[in-house]
């Protein structure tokens, strides 16, 4: 039976004043192509029941995590989504309690880190005095014997769509990929099935990927779906 993957989305107000949720199609497509059934969270009711019924949690990209969650400074942050921060924080705890797999992408990885007590650099340029251009491919280094190392080797190319980065690492997490200038690019939990990457692998899959750089990232989603099927 195919695993059901709970996918988080952001919310925004339309020109007509209505609140709508949004989630890029590439997120759900990556899950479907890897053998999972994507289920996008529409609201914050029945979260415990959703956590019971879903086999895994998939945290997608989006707005900056509100810096008040990690005692950060708002001066260099972009627009936050408080509703989503609370939703994902609650879901992470619920899925951790059930020891079900969690996969975070970009903001999703940062949300995992913050929920587990870590912090972020609010802006790479201002906080680290580094250039990390948006939408410019770059090389990451994988930790030896990690899944990323087995699939893609010691070094591989990824896309980049972020201006923030992990600062203090959250409880139980370890770094499994990084850039030449030591920006954290992937983390894994030491005892729970939790994994996160800073790049956007859903845009690096299929015959016509949105960002045609680096290796095909379908392995990440297939591995996640396999873990979810066993949960």
Q: Is-catalytic flag, 200? A: yes
* CA–centroid distance for 24 within its chain: 14
Residue 103 near residue 88, CB atoms below 8 Å = no
Cα separations in angstroms, 150 against 86, 144, 153, 195 = 35, 8, 6, 15
DSSP character for 52?
H
Of the candidates 163, 202, 225, 228, the residue annotated as catalytic is: 202
Residue 56 near residue 5, CB atoms below 8 Å = yes
Q: CA-to-CA distance for 73 and 120, rounded, in angstroms?
A: 10
Pairing state between β 173-178 and 184-189: antiparallel
Residue 98 near residue 57, CB atoms below 8 Å = no
Q: CA-to-CA distance for 138 and 35, rounded, in angstroms?
A: 29
Q: Is-catalytic flag, 106? A: yes
Q: CA-to-CA distance for 186 and 148, rounded, in angstroms?
A: 9
Instruction: Tell me which H or E stretch contains 177.
Output: strand 173-178
Q: Is-catalytic flag, 77? A: no
Of the candidates 106, 141, 189, 225, the residue annotated as catalytic is: 106
Of the candidates 138, 162, 163, 200, the residue annotated as catalytic is: 200
Enzyme catalytic residues:
106, 200, 202
């Amino acid at each position: 039976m195919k695993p059901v993957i709970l996918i988080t989305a952001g919310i925004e107000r339309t020109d007509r004043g209505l609140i709508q949720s949004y989630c890029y199609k590439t997120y759900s497509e990556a899950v479907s192509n890897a053998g999972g059934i994507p289920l996008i969270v529409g609201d914050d009711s029945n979260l415990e029941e959703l956590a019971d019924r879903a086999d895994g949690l998939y945290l997608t990209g989006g707005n900056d995590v509100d810096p008040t969650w990690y005692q950060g400074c708002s001066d260099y942050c972009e627009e936050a989504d408080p509703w989503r921060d609370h939703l994902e924080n609650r879901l992470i705890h619920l899925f951790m309690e059930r020891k079900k797999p969690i996969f975070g992408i970009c903001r999703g990885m940062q949300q995992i880190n913050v929920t587990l007590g870590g912090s972020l650099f609010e802006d790479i340029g201002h906080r680290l005095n580094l250039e990390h251009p948006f939408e410019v491919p770059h090389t990451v280094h994988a930790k030896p014997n990690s899944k990323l190392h087995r699939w893609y080797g010691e070094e591989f190319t990824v896309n980049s769509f972020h201006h923030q980065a992990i600062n203090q690492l959250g409880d139980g997490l370890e770094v499994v990929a990084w850039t030449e200038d030591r920006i954290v690019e992937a983390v894994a939990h030491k005892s729970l099935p939790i994994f996160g990457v800073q790049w956007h692998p859903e845009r690096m899959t299929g015959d016509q990927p949105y960002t045609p750089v680096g290796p095909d990232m379908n392995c990440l989603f297939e591995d996640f779906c396999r873990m979810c099927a066993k949960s």
